[in-house]
Amino acid sequence: MLKKLKDIVRKSSIHVCIVNCGGCNGCDVELVALLSPRYDLEQYGIYVHNNPREADVLLVTGAVTEQWRDNLRRIYAKTPEPKIVVAVGNCPQSGDVFAQEGGRVLAPVSDFIPVDAAIPGCPPRPSEILEAVLTVAPGALAAKGRAQDARKD
């Protein structure tokens, strides 16, 4: 009974933290656009708090820069279980245009923290981000939560 209740709660209240680890902030702008009445992220039970300590989902944008080498792992460690990481845009996956000779980026993000889902695009459209988060987040969070509970038992 309690486990079912936990499942429902985890699926319908997702707290999101946006971590910009060194991109052009185009993706961050599109994430802000998600808050606008046209897309209205909050009607799906997703709240953007930008506080890693109370987040369920980390939305990582940007190719990893020198300063984020340790900070990214620290932020991931601070986020409570169960948690998932969604990489938004091309940068966290490949470094995009910055992964060239002379660039100071350490992409991909998956070298530093485990990534559950990736949305390609430079930047992806808000509707694509919304669709990806809604497809991945509730199920993955519930599954991870169940696995965590099983370990405790």
Q: Which residues bind another protein (CB under 8 A)?
A: 17, 19-30, 32-33, 35-38, 49-52, 62-63, 65-68, 71, 75, 96-98, 100-105, 122-123, 125
Residues in the chain: 153
In the bound complex, what is the minimum distance in angstroms from residue 92's beta carbon to another protein? 13
- Nearest distance, CB of residue 45 and another protein, angstroms: 17
Query: Is the separation of the CB atoms in 50 and 113 below 8 Å?
Result: no
Q: Compute the least distance from the CB of residue 38 to another protein, in Å.
A: 5
Nearer to another protein, 63 or 142 (CB): 63
Sequence-ordered list of residues with C-beta below 8 angstroms from that of 149, at least 6 positions apart, any chain: 3, 6
> Looking at beta carbons only, is 10 or 68 nearer to another protein?
68
| Inter-residue contact 42 to 12 (CB < 8 Å) | no
| Residue 88 vs 142, nearer CB to another protein | 88
Q: b/e string for 114-134 if b means 16 or more Cβ within 10 A?
A: ebbbbbeeebbebeebbebbe
CB of 3 to another protein, least distance (A): 31
For 42-57, b/e burial (b = at least 16 CB within 10 A) is eeeebebeeebeebbb
133 vs 142, which CB is nearer to another protein?
133
